[in-house]
Structure 1
Amino acid sequence: MSDGPLIVQSDKTILLEVDHEQATEARHAIAAFAELERAPEHMHSYRLTPLGLWNARAAGLDAEQVLDTLLKYSRFPVPHSLLLDIEETMSRYGRLWLEKDEQHGLVMRTNDYPVLEEVMHAKKIEPLLGPRIDANTVVVHNSERGQLKQLLLKVGWPAEDFAGYVDGQPHPIELDLTDWQLRPYQNLAVENFWAGGSGVVVLPCGAGKTLVGAAAMATSGTTTLILVTNTVSARQWKDELLKRTSLTEDEIGEYSGTVKEVRPVTIATYQVMTKKRGGLYPHLELLDENDWGLIIYDEVHLLPAPIFRMTADLQARRRLGLTATLVREDGREGEVFSLIGPKRYDAPWKDIEAQGYIAPADCVEVRVDLPRDERVAYAMAEDADKYRLCSTSETKTSVVERLVASHAGDQLLVIGQYIDQLDEIGGKLDAPVIKGETPVKERQRLFSAFRAGELHTLVVSKVANFSIDLPEASVAIQVSGSFGSRQEEAQRLGRLLRPKADGRSARFYTVVARDTLDQEYAARRQRFLAEQGYAYTIMDAKDIAAA
């Protein structure tokens, strides 16, 4: 028995003692295969899930390494039944695999005959399969490659995909390394992705995911389709590719609500791709007609349902997903795993911070009391209205004003969910508000003015959650969020993580109404960042002036 920081339990939960001297080391070790569930002050709770273990297996971690980690850091003996369960769960990955056969085309093979029998008799899987070739091999309809992988994951037998990819239309792309170079972790991310064929690279905001994409494109040397969250993001990708690669203006097309250009490198928004007309998705079909050699999914954790369907049809194309967190509140991480590919590279945020590539950050939860009339209104409100009522408390506006005053001269973002609340705060601060209805040109003008230091404060809605590059921002004040969304919290902190010229820490405030749903959802949102090693300091709004 050791004095380790972990308590490993037979119900597949792992408790981590936060104040233990080996806590950080242990957290990094288990992050590769366990998911954080709760993060109170002293004892964090993780859970082992099949998907987490299969992701670890796909990334090259075997059961022995997982078991060694648990045994090394566990304070008490690890339950023997759990050790067996982990070993058996991880062994399920790769007992089925897809590959190309010269005579029969796409086939599924196994080294365990009963497993193939089991999945072949599953009602939903049977129609996707062709004739049986021998005891361990069955033909798979080419068009069903993605759908089959999804269903195999659901029945607990995830298949490895060795069937390869079409080459796609060749198109030479080279990195222009005149005044920059890939960081070691970016190189490793590209190498791991390419060796695995398709999959997801997880890097903190500000750690250069776009450069990983550019390097993957240069390695591929083919036409590339890049899917992004919005038009501003599309134009940032274009600017970055023009600056970092041999690509010219004529080689990069934008495919958005306003522009429809299909070029060797085409950057399309998820929004335009998921527009329906007559029950069909015409833009999905148009882009599927092109012979892409690589498809990049920016912010892959946000994939809308029609893009999942499109991805099921694009299994013969090499696919790269980029994200700061694979967390999805709808639980569809399994679809990302089966249709884009497993996690190929994941760098802990604090590791990248320690190397000096992202800024350190202090997270502060500022708690406010609702005035009596608002407390009564909240108590009497319907459940559906409660969160909005406490999130948009008028008390928060005066708190934001005091926080902004205490950071005079800093580049500062105020971020929220509710437009009327943001409009009111923008008016009080005499700061522009960027929201869904703000035209793209106006957004770009305001972002440029902020980057240049001509504007010190911007008020932004959730349109700025993703893929917005504002390296100068050093302070963010969050006044409301999307309920308990962990990925939103990570993205909002990520706006601040570009290294500061003077080496300062970033400061991330969340203003929370005490004793309400707002406080409950804030705790949920913070879970992902707690897993990455960020601690939230709690302060009372009354103490701001003295802070």
Structure 2
Amino acid sequence: WHGGSGVVVLPCGAGKTLVGAAAMAHAQATTLILVTNTVSARQWKDELVRRTSLTPDEIGEYSGSVKEIRPVTIATYQVLTMRRKGAYPHLELLDARDWGLVVYDEVHLLPAPIFRMTADLQARRRLGLTATLVREDGREGDVFSLIGPKRYDAPWKDIEAQGWIAPADCVEVRVTLPAGERLVYATAEPDERYRIASCTHHKIDVVKEIVASHAGKPTLVIGQYLEQLDEIAASLDAPVIEGKTSVKERQRLFDAFRSGEIDLLVVSKVANFSIDLPSAEVAIQVSGAYGSRQEEAQRLGRLLRPGDGNKTAHFYTIVSRDTVDADFAQNRQRFLAEQGYAYRIVDADSLGDLTS
């Protein structure tokens, strides 16, 4: 990146924040950083204070709870696109300033209508950052027209070979729906079938077996259906982070996980974006957004950080065979194959041999 505009694609843990900091140092100008949530905003601020000569007073947060404009301002997409009486007051306020640089974190989100309007912000330079430039609607090209050309795209396996991210063992564990659930699935409306297949109670037993086999290792259990996550959290006696969890409580749990005070967290899709969990070694996915490749990148990216001793990360996804859950899993297989990762499929009944 030489001071113009463009997009940088790097895996989670490979230093996207540092790339942003380097662009800011090169630009030597007022900077607006757009992020997906308040937790991410505060992590950006902490990292900039730790890695650069910026002081906390020089970095402002512009979110739902705080409205600060400083030489470096970190704002959430949500607050900028908040509409009031037909107007966008926060977007208009920040657009009135002459930014020397705008950094778009998770830039793959930009083509979505609610985020797209932020691309009109006044700026002399734009930098987009993302772990993978994949969209299920095929509108990756819109990112380049809104921000600028791709400046750098590092293959995940190349970054792994250089020691910047951990190697990963990716396993799909297939379960069979019990007879009663198969009947419910067969007679359900099409838009309900994925939820039924994803939330089979058989998955809870598999989760418990995997967690036990990696006892003591920092482990995330990830899903999208809150009732399922609450049930899993109760069965594991583990804390859960979901949309209703306060920012303060999220930060407390993430800090406890990062420090090793707790080694097991159940998380919803709120942890998909911009959450720094550098010590995660095991992820167990029980349900996702219909096999979204972008979501797979974010979830696998929770693990691909060096950590201590460059240990191998373990990514498990639990899938109900002969259902739409298995059909959507093909997107995951394709994404991981594109990134160069081997992808094993095992039966839940033989899981003990695999994890022993």
TM-score (norm. length: structure 2): 0.97
Does residue 255 of structure 2 align to residue 448 of structure 1?
yes
Aligned pairs (5 A) from 1:486-497 = 486-497=293-304
Matched, 1:198 2:22: no
Q: Which residue number in structure 1 is paired with residue 174 of structure 2?
A: 367
Contact residue 336 and residue 343 of structure 2 kept, 8 A? no
Cα distance, 1:313 vs structure 2: 5.2
Deviation track 1:107-159 (CA, whole Å, cap 9, x = no partner) reads xxxxxxxxxxxxxxxxxxxxxxxxxxxxxxxxxxxxxxxxxxxxxxxxxxxxx
Separation (CA, whole Å) in 1 of partners of 2:185 and 2:219: 30
1:310 aligned onto 2:131: no
Matched letter for residue 244 of structure 2: E
Q: Which residue identity is paired with 1:257? A: G
Distance 1:455 1:397 in 2: 20
Q: Name which of 103, 121, 125 aligns with 1:296.
A: 103
Amino acid at match of 1:308: R
The structure 1 segments of at least 4 consecutive aligned residues displaced by more than 2 Å after TM superposition are 525-529
Matches of residues 81-480 of structure 1 in structure 2 within 5 Å? 193-194=1-2, 197-303=4-110, 304-312=112-120, 314=122, 316-480=123-287
User: Aligned-pair distance for 1:269?
Assistant: 0.6
CA–CA distance in 1 between the matches of 2:137 and 2:86? 24
Tell me which amino acid in the other structure corresponds to 2:198.
S
Q: Which amino acid aligns with 1:428?
A: S
1:69-95 per-position Cα deviation (integer Å, ceiling 9, x unaligned): xxxxxxxxxxxxxxxxxxxxxxxxxxx
Structure 1 distance, partners of 2:29, 2:310, is: 39
Partners of 2:2 and 2:114 in 1: CA distance: 26
Q: Which residue of 1 aligns with 2:318?
A: 511
User: Which ranges of structure 2 fall in alignment gaps of 5 or more residues?
Assistant: none
Question: Which gives a bigger RCO, structure 1 or 2 (Cα 8 Å, sep 6+)?
Answer: 2
CA distance in 2, matches of 1:401, 1:310: 43
The structure number with the bigger radius of gyration is 1
RMSD after superposition:
1.1
Structure 1 CA distance, aligned partners of 2:196 and 2:115? 34
Aligned counterparts of 2:205 and 2:173: Cα–Cα separation in 1: 12
Contact 1:486/1:526 (CA < 8 Å) preserved in 2? Answer: no
Offset from partner CA, 1:215-266 (integer Å, 9 cap, x none): 0000000000000011110000000000111111111000111111111100
Task: Return the offset for 1:209.
Answer: 0.3
Encode CA deviations 1:161-220: one digit per residue, 9 max, x unaligned. Answer: xxxxxxxxxxxxxxxxxxxxxxxxxxxxxxxx226x111000011101000000000000
Q: Give 2:131's aligned amino acid.
A: A
Q: Is the Cα contact below 8 Å between 1:488 and 1:525 reproduced in 2?
A: no
- Gaps (5+ residues) in structure 1? 1-192
Q: Deviations over 1:488-538 (max 9, x none)?
A: 001100000111312210000000000100011111133222111012111
SS at match of 2:2: helix
Q: Give the corresponding residue for 1:173.
A: none
| Contact 2:103 2:128 survives alignment (8 Å) | yes
Cα distance between partner residues in 2 of 1:393 and 1:441:
32
Amino acid at match of 1:250: D
- Could you tell me the TM-score, scaled by structure 1's length? 0.64
SS of the equivalent of 2:349 reads: helix
Aligned to 1:137: none
* 2:75 counterpart SS class: strand
Q: Is the 8 A contact 1:363 1:534 kept in 2?
A: yes
Could you tell me how far apart the structure 2 residues matched to 1:302 and 1:194 are? 24
The whole-number CA distance in structure 2 between the counterparts of 1:208 and 1:458 is 24
Q: Is the 8 A contact 2:278 2:305 kept in 1?
A: yes
Q: What is the percentage of aligned positions where both structures have the same residue?
A: 72
Amino acid paired to 1:255: Y
CA distance 1:448–1:313, change in 2 (3 Å)? closer
